[in-house]
Chains A and B, each alone.
Chain A
Amino acid sequence: MDMSKYRELFLSETREHINSLNQLAVTLEQEPDNRETIDALFREAHSIKGMAATMGFNATAQLSHHLEDLLDGFRTSGDIPSTTIDYLLEGIDLLDGLLDDLQDDRPERSTEDYLTKQQGCAANGEENNPQQPPVVIASEENPEPEKEPDTFQVLVELDKDTPAAAARGILILRELEKFGNLRTSQPDIDELRMGGSCGQVRAWLSSFQQKGQIEAALLKINGVENVRFIEDRRKTDRRERQTVGRTIRVSTDLLDQFVNLTGELMTHRNMLNTAGRSRDWDEVNKAIDRAGRLIDELHHNVLQVRLMPLQSITGRLPRIVRDLSRSSGKQVALLLSGTDIGIDRVILEGITDPLMHLVRNAVDHGVEEEGTVSISAGREKDLILIEVADDGKGMDPQMLRQKAVDQGLVSQSQAYSMSDRDALMLVCKPGFSTAEEVTETSGRGVGMDVVKAAVQNLGGSLEIVSAAGAGTRIKIRLPLSIAIIKVLLVSCAGRTLAIPITRVQRTLDLPTKEVFAAGQQRMFRLEEEELCLYSLAEALDQQQVATGDITWTVLIELHGRRLGLQVDGFLGQRDAFIKPIGFPLNLLTGLTGATVEGDGHVTFVVDPQALLERHQIDVNQ
């Protein structure tokens, strides 16, 4: 019997069961004698066994059967020892791994070592070696057909005074290339070729070689002071990488509504035709109104389909926080609320990594020895507010100001005039984290700067509320739908352009006589701060038309600083359905989409921050 058509369903359902297994296991750890939890675990394992057996995935079926047996034993006697729970969690991870194999069309990995491991772990609670080494993936007899190289991050620190550091950097990269695939580095080869200083080289390498060998070879290079390896968490924390699935579940009620609405629309089409033929304009207008309302409702329902509960990604957090607490030696409790809120699945996908990072940060840096990390979600007008909070040591704006000055990210005077709110946002400046913080948090590419960028890319905004000793709250605001956003319509260089409201702090009608010059730079005063003024037309390589008595300005934030962007006039604000721009226009920086007006006109949506960056406006100058 051809089971391949059930494959997708098997994969997504099994993933869900594994998620449940993880959550239940973590709950069980807190209440090891809870029969209901043990029962539930048993049922989940049982379901996976059934499906896997039907599909002919033998290793998966066998492993689930093993777990099922294990749990069955405890259903009557209850009270599972913690070593057994650890063993169970290992088994769940192995199931996860097997599912990855099946998903990527690889043969199922061997479960031999896991299955033979704790033979003596019976219902009467006998314990074997508590700290077994992690599951071995492949045994000698069945070599893994495609063994994957390890990817790790190498940090090579150079002697402070070593001459020709950039040339040293190039030699270091060359040496690394001998060991495998050098995926990228910071600084990268092009930056090094331009010369300049180089205190360290951070590289991402995929290699089959031993770290010891790589380290030894690097240390032989003159000028290299220290070599450190940072495990690429993205490979080890597979759990976190599970993206929102390729198939979705839609409630049958919703589907029924679709059928009803489209039915009504079809009826309406007939009514419109009739009214049109009879030239009874009243009737026509009424019919158009009604059709409009039906279309709105249909649209609303379509968007509902795209919604998935936040729970889809927060479901795996209990397990992750449990593992993080264990490894950091802290006692961290996780509180989730409002996670049944529906979020557009594209946004959900985009917010997964940032959310994981914030949770890890909260555990690693926020919570001291004991504490709580809480994630809450809710609606705030037409936005979704997700808050990641911890009750730990918090952040001191003064210390952040000092650190930023020390690292050369802001000048003393900028730091002095910065509000506490802006000071807290300094952690989102690229390059702010010290090397040790980066090693602790995660592998490549995730830092607060990346989190903020990811949130903004989704059309949202990030806010940090914190004080020394008072914990930290990271507030993320996201639009309900990535497709419909509120935009500000402005006229600029003879055209109408749209700017997403989330990118705009506010609009200003600045009297032109209050604009002054500081050298070449136009500036203005706002709330006792002096801000720079740029022209949107010029950012678009257009001519800025002569300014009248009023300089219409949009206040935006770039790299943690506020500045003004002059436009030729404000035309209003509305909800716009944004369509992506196709190739080759999508290669242009600064255009994020377009919306079609009622009259068929196309209005482009611009990203003011990207436009200014393109012109290399350095706000710190």
Chain B
Amino acid sequence: MAIRVMVVDDALFMRNILKDIFVRHGYEVVAEAENGETALQLYQESKPDLVTMDIVMPKKSGIEALQEIMAADPEAHVVMVSALGQDTLVLEAVEAGARDFIVKPFKEDKVLETVRRVVGQD
């Protein structure tokens, strides 16, 4: 059975890149959200095995959305997506429960490595 992923990012461009990578490697993209507000709801509806979450988004930030998802499901596998120079936010996210993070611009193999590792956990 394919691994089910949810992609959260306010930029359609980024969501498409990630979706492409996932689909090409046999993952199933079960949901995508463009802001933190809909993220929690979509998470609970689609129950993905893994979420990629952009750190900086308008309205609700990735970290807030992360916290909400972790509160609802402490076992959630969330991987943060960040740009360079956001070390402090990445630290905050990891402290808040993110399982790992990838930094833009990312290499396809790094994304896959990270996702495989996180999904392989417990």
Contact = CB atoms under 8 A, between A and B. Distances in A.
Contacts of B21: none
Contacts of A167: 87, 90-91, 93-94, 101
A164 B86 contact: yes
A221 B117 contact: yes
Contacts of B91: 164, 166-167, 170, 192-193, 195
A603 to B, nearest CB: 48
Contacts of A170: 91, 94-95
A621 B20 CA distance: 53
A222 B103 CA distance: 11
Contacts of A246: none
A192 B95 CA distance: 11
A513 interface: no
Interface in B61-107: 82, 84, 86-88, 90-91, 93-95, 99-103
Contacts of A221: 100, 117
A140 B22 CA distance: 49
A193 B95 contact: yes
B94 A171 contact: yes
A163 B90 CA distance: 10
B60 interface: no
B84 A163 contact: yes
A195 B87 contact: yes
Contacts of B95: 170, 193
B94 to A, nearest CB: 5
Given A221-B117, A222-B110, A163 B94 contact: no
Interface in A39-72: none
A221 B93 CA distance: 17
Most buried by B among A164, A165, A195, A221: A164
A220 interface: yes
B90 A220 contact: no
Given A167-B101, A170-B95, A171-B100, A220 B117 contact: yes
A170 B91 CA distance: 8
A165 B94 CA distance: 12
A164 B117 contact: no
B113 A222 contact: yes
A106 B93 CA distance: 47
B87 A166 contact: yes
Given A164-B82, A164-B101, A195 B113 contact: no
Nearest to B114: A222
A269 B57 CA distance: 88
Most buried by A among B88, B99, B100: B100
Contacts of B103: 163-164
Contacts of B88: 195
Contacts of B84: 163
Most buried by A among B86, B113, B117: B117
A482 to B, nearest CB: 45
A221 B100 CA distance: 9
A164 B90 contact: yes
Contacts of B110: 222
A166 B102 CA distance: 14
B76 to A, nearest CB: 15
A195 to B, nearest CB: 6
A222 B102 contact: yes
Most buried by A among B82, B88, B90, B93: B90
A171 B94 CA distance: 8
A171 B80 CA distance: 13
Most buried by B among A167, A195, A220: A167
B44 to A, nearest CB: 25
A300 B93 CA distance: 64
A409 B89 CA distance: 30
Contacts of B94: 167, 170-171
A195 B103 CA distance: 16
A449 B35 CA distance: 52
Interface string A206-232: 000000000000001110000000000
A170 B98 CA distance: 11
Interface in A167-203: 167, 170-171, 192-193, 195
Interface in B11-25: none
A122 B101 CA distance: 65
Most buried by B among A165, A170, A220: A220
A91 B93 CA distance: 55
11 contacts: A163-B103, A164-B86, A164-B90, A166-B87, A167-B91, A170-B95, A195-B88, A195-B91, A220-B116, A220-B120, A222-B114
Interface of A: 163-167, 170-171, 192-193, 195, 220-222
Interface of B: 82, 84, 86-88, 90-91, 93-95, 99-103, 110, 113-114, 116-117, 120
Q: Which 8 pairs, one residue from A and one from B, show the smallest C-beta to C-beta distance? A: A164-B90, A167-B90, A220-B117, A163-B103, A164-B87, A167-B94, A167-B91, A170-B94
